[in-house]
Amino acid sequence: MRYLCLAYEQESVVNALSRPEWDALRGETLSYVEELRKRGHLVSTEPLQSARAATTVRVRSGKVSLTDGPFAETKEQLGGFFLIDARDLNEAIQVASKWPSARLGSIEVRPIEEGLPMERRYRPPA
C-alpha cells in the first residue's frame, strides 16, 4: 500500500540551525532517502519552498480568490513530502519515524486512496 508522508516543520527552527547542524541533518536525510530507495520503500520525495512562496487558491460562486501564503496560520508548515510503499500503516509509521526532520517537526502519514470512490469522497476509517 502507498502512503503519503507530509513533513511539517517550523521554518524558524530549521533556519536557526548552525551550518554544521544543517549539514548533518541534510546528510542524514539524503542517506535515509538512499536507504529507502534501496529497500524499495521510496516512490518519490521532494522538498517544498518556503510557505511564504505559497499561494492559496479558492473558487466560490465562480469567483477565484488568491491569498498569499498557506491557508492556515500555524507554527509548522508543510516542508516537503515523501511517498512510500509499505506493507501496512505500522510499517509506514516506522519508516516515517526515522525521517530525520521528524525530530524538529512532525510527519503526517496518510494512506493513498486508490481511485476516487463512487459512493463518497472520504470513507469512514477502518
Give the rounded percent of residues in the chain with a pLDDT score beyond 90. Answer: 70
What would the grid cell of residue 108 be?
A: 503526517
Please report the pLDDT score of residue 47 as a whole number: 94
Domain that holds residue 47: 2-111
* Cβ-Cβ contacts under 8 Å for 81 (sequence gap 6 or more): 4, 5, 6, 7, 44, 45, 46, 48
Determine, yes or no, domain membership for 34: yes
What would the grid cell of residue 122 be?
A: 472520504
CA dihedral in degrees (114, 116, 122, 123; nearest 10)? -60
Please report the pLDDT score of residue 70 as a whole number: 67
Determine, yes or no, domain membership for 126: no
Mean pLDDT, rounded, for 93-115: 94
Determine, yes or no, domain membership for 124: no
Q: Are 6 and 110 in contact (CB under 8 A)?
A: yes
Reported as a single tens digit per residue, the pLDDT across 26-85 is: 999 999 999 999 999 999 999 999 888 888 889 999 999 998 876 666 778 899 999 999
What's the predicted TM-score (pTM) here?
Answer: 0.86
Determine, yes or no, domain membership for 119: no
